Amino acid sequence: MRVLFVTQLLPYPLDSGGKIRNYYLLRHLSRRHRVTLVSFVRTSEEAALAEELRPFCEAVHTVPLRRSRLRDLWHLVRSFACRQPFLVARDASPAMARLLQRLHRERPFDVVHVSPVTMTPYALAVSGLRRIVDCDNVMASLMVRMAQALPWWLRPVARLEAQRLSRYEPEIVRNADRALVVSEFDRRSLEGLGAPQGRLSVVPIGVDTRLPPIRRQTDAPPAILHLGGLNYLPNLEGLRWFLQHVFPRVVERLPDCRLYVVGADPPSDLRDQARSDPRIVVVGHAPHLEPYLERASLLAVPLRSGSGMRVKILEAFARGLPVVTTTLGYEGIEATPGEHLLVADDPAGFAEAVVRLATDELFARRLTRNARPLVKAKYDWRRVGEALDAAYKGLSHGCVVDLRLAAQAGLVS
C-alpha cells in the first residue's frame, strides 16, 4: 500500500516519547509499504533533520509551523467561537492541507495515518482513502490531570478543554477506519468516553532493545537521573514535587548523592535552585545521554499527571537501569512493582525506594534482570510492528468513512 504518514512533530531526533513512537512505526511500515512522511517543523534546523528519515520513506515533506503566545491566544479565542478543542485549532494550517491534497492528486495514496489525534483534521484534506488515527494519549484524561497543576485562573479553561476533548476523541474513533492506542488501559479509557468497541487497536510504543546495557561508573557516588523535557507540564510538576518533598529525605540518608536533571527548557527557578545546591545538576537538553546514564544509579520518574506510556521507563528497562516511579508513571506498562521496578506515590515511600535502589546493588540488579526480558518480549519495536501490521490488515475490510460528516457537526475544521 501507499501510506501518507502525517505527524505534528518530526520523528527525529529521538528525544521525546511521541517522536520515538512515530520513528519506529515509520521504520516498520517502510518494510512493507511505500511511505511518504509529511510533518510540521518549527525551525530550519529541524527541517534539515528530516534528511535522516529519507532512508525509510519514498519522500519526506515538511511544513513550517509557527507558535507564539499571541498566536495561541488567537487560537484559544477561535476555539471558543467554533466550539473546537484548542489543541486542534492551534495547529490549523491551510499550507499543510494544500500539500496533502497535491501529493494525493499527483500519486494517490491508499491510507493516511495521522499522529497524534489532534492532527485528525488533515485526514480531511484527502478523500477516497482509509484513515488511521494514532491516539498516543487520551487527551481528555491528560487535560483533566494537568488542570490540577495549572494556576487557578487557567483551571476553568483546562476543564472546558477536557470536556471538548472528551466529545472529540470518541467521535474521531467512531468516524475513523482504525484508531491506535498504546495500551489496554487507554483503550478502556476511550471506550469509557463512548468510543465504539472494535475500532481501537492496541499498538504499544516500541523501543530498540538491542542497544547494549549501560556500563555504570562503579566508583561514582549515588546518582539519581531525571529525564524529560521540562516544557511538558507533567514532567515539570513531578520534578518540583520530587525536589520539594522527596529529595530532602534522600539527602538525609545519602548526603553525597547527586540529582541530574536532563531535559529541554529548564525554568530559571530550577537553575537558581541548582546554583544554591551543588547536589542538583541541571543539564538541560543533552544531545547524548550516555554520560548521564553511566553515572546514574537509578531513573526517577515522579509523575503525578499525564497520560499515555512513558518511553523513558521502557528504555531504562532495555538498558538495565533500575526505575522508581509512581502508579501513574508506569500506567499502561505491563510491569509488576517489586519485580520489574519500584512504585511509590507518597514522599516517604518514594524516598525509601530511591535509597534502596541506590544502596542495594543486588536488589537493583534483580529488578533490571527481570525488566529486560519483559521489554524485549512486549515492547521491542519489531514486536510492536506485528500489532501495527494487524491494524493495517484490518483496513481491507469495511468501507471508507468520510470524516467530513464530523466537520459538518463542528467537530473538526
Structure letter (DSSP) for residue 337: B
Q: How many residues does the chain have?
A: 413
Is 2-206+380-408's fold the same as 223-378's?
Answer: yes
pLDDT at 409: 35
Q: E strands within 119-209?
A: 130-135, 178-181, 200-202
* % of residues, the chain, pLDDT over 90: 81
CATH of domain 2-206+380-408: 3.40.50.2000
β-pairing verdict for 111-115 and 59-64: unpaired
223-378 topology per CATH: Rossmann fold (3.40.50)
Among 284, 251, 244, 289, CA closest to 266: 284
The pLDDT of residue 243 is 98
- Range scoring the smallest mean pLDDT among 50-59, 118-127, 226-235: 118-127
pLDDT at 124: 78
Q: What is the mean pLDDT of the chain?
A: 92
Question: Does residue 146 contact residue 328 with C-beta atoms inside 8 Å?
Answer: no
Q: Taking the CA of residue 76 as centre, how many other CA atoms within 13 Å lie in the half-sphere pointing to its CB?
A: 12
Please state the domain extents for the chain: 2-206+380-408, 223-378
Tell whether the model's pLDDT for residue 408 goes beyond 80: no
- Per DSSP, the residues of 86-101 read HHHHTT--HHHHHHHH
Residue 269: exposed, middle, or buried by beta-carbon count in 10 A (0-12, 13-18, 19+)?
A: exposed
Exposed/middle/buried for residue 41 (C-beta within 10 Å: 0-12, 13-18, 19+): middle
Lowest-confidence region among 66-80, 249-263, 274-288: 66-80
Percent of the chain with pLDDT over 70: 96
Query: Which cell numbers in the block locate residue 301?
Result: 520518574
- Provide the whole-model pTM: 0.92
Instruction: Spell out the long-range contacts of 44-51 with Cβ–Cβ below 8 A and sequence spacing 24 or more.
Output: 46/10, 47/10, 49/10, 49/12, 49/13, 50/10, 50/12
| pLDDT digits 0-9 by tens, 310-360 | 999 999 999 999 999 999 999 999 999 999 999 999 999 999 999 999 999
Q: How confident is the model at residue 404 (pLDDT cuts 50, 70, 90)?
A: very low
Q: What is the DSSP letter of 334?
A: -
- By CB atoms closer than 10 A (0-12, 13-18, 19+), residue 407 is middle
- Place 401 in a pLDDT band, splitting at 50, 70 and 90: very low
Which residues make beta-bridge pairs with 200? Answer: 179
Residues 6 or more apart in contact with residue 383 via CB below 8 angstroms: 206, 376, 377
pLDDT in tens, 152-186: 888 999 999 999 999 999 999 998 999 999 999 99
Q: Tens digit of pLDDT for each residue in 205-239?
A: 999 999 999 988 777 899 999 999 999 999 999 99
How far is residue 355 from each of residues 224, 257, 346, 348, 384, measured CA to CA in Å?
10, 10, 14, 11, 34
pLDDT of residue 402: 47
Identify which has the larger pLDDT, 246 or 308.
Answer: 246
